[in-house]
Chains A and B, each alone.
Chain A
Amino acid sequence: MTQPLLEISGLKTHFGVGGTTIRAVDGVDLVVNPGETVCLVGESGCGKSMMARSILRIVPPPGQVTAGQINLHRQSGKVVDLAALDPKGAEIRSIRGREVAMIFQEPMTALGPVQTIGSQITDAIQLHLKVSRKEARNQAIEVLTRVGMPRPEQRLEAYPFQLSGGMRQRAMIALALSCQPRLLIADEPTTALDVTTQAVILDLIRDLQAEMGMAVLFITHDLGVVAEIADSVAVMYLGRVVERAAVDDIFHNARHPYTRGLLRSIPRLGIRVGEELDTIEGMVPNPFNRPSGCSFHPRCVEMIPGRCDRVDPSRTRLPDGTEVRCLLHEPHRQETAPAGALQ
């Protein structure tokens, strides 16, 4: 096995709001290998974005990375723990946009409104790579061409508001890819797009990845998108990864009841008209009102009474490599152990 590119363990990102603590990310473990596409799925509010932002240390205040490690194997061979870096320091800034780049659902969060596309991309290139203005401009044209922007020389002079939604998304991807990052974090980049545009952007990301050999951490809530692009999948629920497996196992051999429930509740093309969908009952609890034991137990159809509501499941690695946090798959443990002691 090659060395992983990014290893996250026990990551916690908490928000202290008016005396209460919102555990947006609460002990996440995740591995991204070079060149691999990892999909992070989960319903809104489960902490996907905060987890992604924690990697680049751009969690909005009052949020803070409070525990855990984010080990990035840098190009130089050095391993840095991003969680231990100063979020405003020089080291993280040399990583952001250079080795790890991010794209967002709303392109305007990444693209400044008052600068042309061209100057934003050339600025980014010059910030990280020691090249002349002219060379940077050529690279900008090249990267715009690569993301399929028609007439790239002219688009260099365009302002973001002059572009359509799909083109803006391409411009943002071009900006993110301008320094050839080794890891691209994509936070729901296609959620606001039409399916037709989404399909084109997904193709684009896939092609670019094959071409440039970068790894992609792709965040989405759409299992269809996951099936289209993922190599491996991490399913999040209330700030934790509850199942992590190869994409085929997630769809054909899911272990966690939440994953199974999600799969049953998505409408699929090709089903007969009027066929019933299964639903997961209830709704996602508030992150500051986390249920005891397994936090999914109030909605779980396979809940073991007296156990799931008391014991907090730990991460279990199954023989085929799947990792799951569920008592159904955990070797039997001392039942009376207090939940806190298990962490």
Chain B
Amino acid sequence: MIDQADIDTPATAPKAHAEVEHREQYAGQWTLIWWKLGRNKVALFSGAVVLIIYLVAIFADFLAPFSSEHYQGRYAYAPPQPLSFFVQNEEGWRFQPHVNAYTTDIDPVSFRRTFVPDPEEVVPVRFFAAGETYHLLGIIPTDIHLLGPENPRDPMFLFGADRLGRDVLSRTIHGTRVSMSIGLIGVGLSLVLGIILGGLSGFIGGAVDTLIQRIIEFLQSIPTIPLWMGLAAAIPQSWTPLQVYFAITVILSLIGWTSLAREVRGKFMALRHEDFVTAARLDGLGEMVIIRKHLVPSFLSHIIASVTLAIPAMILAETALSFIGIGLKPPVVSWGVLLQEAQNIRSVATAPWLFLPGAAIVVSVLSMNFLGDGLIDAADPYGN
């Protein structure tokens, strides 16, 4: 065809000066986001914490010494025992993980039983101890726990015990499952609703857009707490814990999707008139291909970042509902349920360890927020 081009064009060709290859030149969006995130140490560390928390949720049965319902009534309100690794005998120090057993004192004034760790009596514990049986990942039957007393009847309460003598550590670990997954599933539901309705709104525009926007405005104008309370209170008492769990998730995402939908719509609207989308249309791409190839990849990273920030809000919402007693209820264990049980003046004074699940909430919410902020910063690696 027109092959003399090779001879003519060099006149205008930029002369390659000190042509250096940079790996950035070949890096796509996700690689750039990853590099940018990698420079944000706080976000990276928080990401690792979040990952660990979710691993804890997945392997809760294995990591927790006991099941959530395991109790030893004798040890009600037993305080936390420190874990030590060595015992001293005639031959010197020997490796033997252990906790110290309790002696019981009766307070002569209040007749209240108090536990004092007994330095004389050692309760040997071991890693990968046999204990209650469970199904690892729901399929593999086993009775191995990461840590447990050698004799299953011995006391081991690293986070202390509650009023029924249940291990707070085990219950906090089991609570991770519900608390963390309710955020994830709730946000997942919001995301589906948000992307579909926001996408429709932004893409079709016109009357559909107006309608969806009015619905969103209506939902957002309802005060959240009363709405949640009303709906949660309406859940029939006869529902199984599983049904309640899903009901609560749906309630939480009922509001959550609106802001995601707004964001998706905004991105759609902004991107639809970008020159590169127009160019794609001129290149003969159909609307669906444009959405898949140009639009969705352009805002997916932003959506992921927003989702990361929406999860902690859901976790807190679940906690709040359960704490005031209208969310999840025992025997389900979630951090909110655990805190609800700690809710009396006596525990504040005498059994402060019952609030340790609160620390788990703080850690997970903070690390999710830091990670989300980092993702927001990294989500657009092409800005200045």
Interface residues of A (CB under 8 A from B): 18, 279, 281-283, 285, 289, 291, 298-299
Check A289 against B39 for contact (C-beta < 8 Å). no
Instruction: Decide if B9 is an interface residue (CB 8 Å cutoff).
Output: no
Residues of A within 8 A of B18 (CB): 285, 289, 291, 298
How far, in whole Å, are A281 and B16 apart by their CA atoms in the complex? 10
A-B contact pairs, 19 of them (CB 8 A): A18-B39, A279-B12, A281-B14, A281-B15, A282-B14, A282-B15, A282-B17, A283-B14, A285-B17, A285-B18, A289-B18, A289-B20, A291-B17, A291-B18, A298-B15, A298-B17, A298-B18, A299-B15, A299-B17
Kindly provide the distance from the CB of B260 to the nearest chain A CB, expressed in whole angstroms: 29
Report whether over half of chain B's contact residues are helix, strand or loop; otherwise say mixed: loop
Residues of chain B from 268 to 320 with CB closer than 8 A to chain A in the complex: none
| Closest A-B pairs by Cβ, 5 of them | A298-B17, A282-B15, A282-B14, A281-B15, A283-B14
How far, in whole Å, are A18 and B38 apart by their CA atoms in the complex? 12
How far, in whole Å, are A172 and B100 apart by their CA atoms in the complex? 76
- How many residues from B make CB contacts under 8 Å with A? 7
Kindly provide the distance from the CB of B155 to the nearest chain A CB, expressed in whole angstroms: 54
What's the A-B contact tally at a CB cutoff of 8 Å? Answer: 19
Kindly provide the distance from the CB of A284 to the nearest chain B CB, expressed in whole angstroms: 10
Residues of B within 8 A of A299 (CB): 15, 17
How far, in whole Å, are A279 and B9 apart by their CA atoms in the complex? 13
Residues of B within 8 A of A291 (CB): 17-18
Report whether over half of chain A's contact residues are helix, strand or loop; otherwise say mixed: loop
How far, in whole Å, are A291 and B39 apart by their CA atoms in the complex? 29
Kindly provide the distance from the CB of A217 to the nearest chain B CB, expressed in whole angstroms: 25
How far, in whole Å, are A18 and B20 apart by their CA atoms in the complex? 18
How far, in whole Å, are A299 and B13 apart by their CA atoms in the complex? 12
> In the complex, given contacts A281-B14, A282-B15, what are 15 additional A-B residue pairs having Cβ atoms less than 8 angstroms apart?
A18-B39, A279-B12, A281-B15, A282-B14, A282-B17, A283-B14, A285-B18, A289-B18, A289-B20, A291-B17, A298-B15, A298-B17, A298-B18, A299-B15, A299-B17
Query: Looking at A281, A289, A298, which has the most chain B CB atoms within 10 Å of its CB?
Result: A281
How far, in whole Å, are A279 and B12 apart by their CA atoms in the complex? 8
How far, in whole Å, are A276 and B15 apart by their CA atoms in the complex? 20
Residue of A nearest to B20 (CB): A289
Residue of B nearest to A18 (CB): B39
Kindly provide the distance from the CB of A32 to the nearest chain B CB, expressed in whole angstroms: 30
- Per-residue interface assignment for chain B, residues 43 to 84, with 1 indicating a CB less than 8 Å from any chain A CB and 0 otherwise: 000000000000000000000000000000000000000000
How far, in whole Å, are A281 and B10 apart by their CA atoms in the complex? 10
